[in-house]
Structure 1
């Protein structure tokens, strides 16, 4: 049902460009439609008010016997990521077909491409986050998905000592999206995390003296 709402929202964007009266120099076509601010909505039984990115209230559009909803507001309400591909004039909803490595634009301490530090179990991952400092310590970094993706597939390995406390957090409101442990015996552990609508992620682990945290940035990715 939720995906059907999203599809309807996407249709709102696409179908509103199908009528007579083409504007000069564009592929847009002019139509006559009406805003209907009186219409109310509920999502999973709870009142919902469509808004734009700046928080302004949006009214649905009534056209030719159908009601069209703002796709970005609806996708946010239903927890489905949305992105607009301006180059191809395409609205992208949900998971992407191709994963985007978190290595793209990654910054922070313990980020390395040193060939002596980027290998794990015989495989060179080329670009990693590797906290191999000494002492009991926290190990963390921030990612910036900017609300463009539905899922994060994050790979993490504990080396030397088990990681007893690990979490991924929405940095906007400190809500925990994943809480777990990572044992050395598990090898490279993959976490699948729903990050729809999340702008910033805080990844954190407690690492004991003699232990290390290894995160391959090339095989951890957004979708």
Structure 2
């Protein structure tokens, strides 16, 4: 598995978070300066530093060092960034532990009926299962916090064709899941993306379909 490594020489980074995060934190007051002269280049191209709401943010200079906003830099480098309040840590790239895709998103088309959530005798609890059409789509909402998506998909009756796209319809991954694949795990780079759409199609014969467990498909 590839790891994302960010190397920073002579420049520190800061991470903007909600005011409540700082309650009880070990803070020291300093006098610093917004430095509008600093330009940031990625692969030779100047980039505009933006916060999560799309507002321009400015580097800060303090005691001879320049501090860049972590979220804006991560976005410019196409690296996922998140904040863990429990450990007071800024997280770049892939998480150590996988997060189920249904952990903080409600899937209104999800099935939870135990009679329908089984695949090869294993109950997956909550799934997207479609055997009534020849194809459709569903949306995942990683909200820019994750580097990778590991989507599990099984084909029922006949092969399933998959396309995974971002909100601008840019193709992120295209794959075919065969019946013989069983439950296939598809890895997709989703760094910095707020949502992605999974588009699927299969043979319209009344016997085919798709099975996607939401409890074992996960983000990292």
Aligned to 1:119: 118
CA distance in 1 between counterparts of 2:36 and 2:6 reads 24
- Native 8 Å contact 2:173 2:188 kept in 1: yes
CA distance in 2 between counterparts of 1:102 and 1:212 reads 21
Aligned to 1:167: 163
Alignment of structure 1 residues 1-223 onto 2, 5 Å: 3-5=6-8, 11-13=12-14, 27-104=26-103, 105-109=105-109, 111-133=110-132, 137-163=134-160, 165-171=161-167, 173-209=168-204, 210-223=207-220
* Larger-Rg structure: 1
Structure 1 or 2: more helix by fraction: 1
CA distance in 2 between counterparts of 1:25 and 1:182 reads 50
Once the two structures are superposed, residues 18-56 of structure 1 have per-residue CA deviations (whole angstroms, 9 ceiling, x without a partner) of xxxxxx976321112222211212101111121223333
CA distance in 2 between counterparts of 1:79 and 1:37 reads 23
Cα deviation for residue 162 of structure 1 reads 0.9
> Quick one: structure 1 residues 129 and 114, their matched pair in 2 at CA, closer, same or farther if it must change by over 3 Å?
same
Once the two structures are superposed, residues 124-147 of structure 1 have per-residue CA deviations (whole angstroms, 9 ceiling, x without a partner) of 2122111121x5x22321111111
Q: What SS does structure 1 have at the residue aligned with 2:71?
A: helix
RMSD: 2.3
The alignment's TM-score, normalised by the length of structure 1, stands at: 0.84
Once the two structures are superposed, residues 144-200 of structure 1 have per-residue CA deviations (whole angstroms, 9 ceiling, x without a partner) of 11111111100001110112x3111112x1111111111111111111111111111
- Native 8 Å contact 1:106 1:143 kept in 2: no
Q: What SS does structure 2 have at the residue aligned with 1:74?
A: helix
- In the alignment, structure 1 segments of 5+ residues that lack a partner are 15-23
Once the two structures are superposed, residues 84-129 of structure 1 have per-residue CA deviations (whole angstroms, 9 ceiling, x without a partner) of 22343221211111111112233132x2122221121232212211
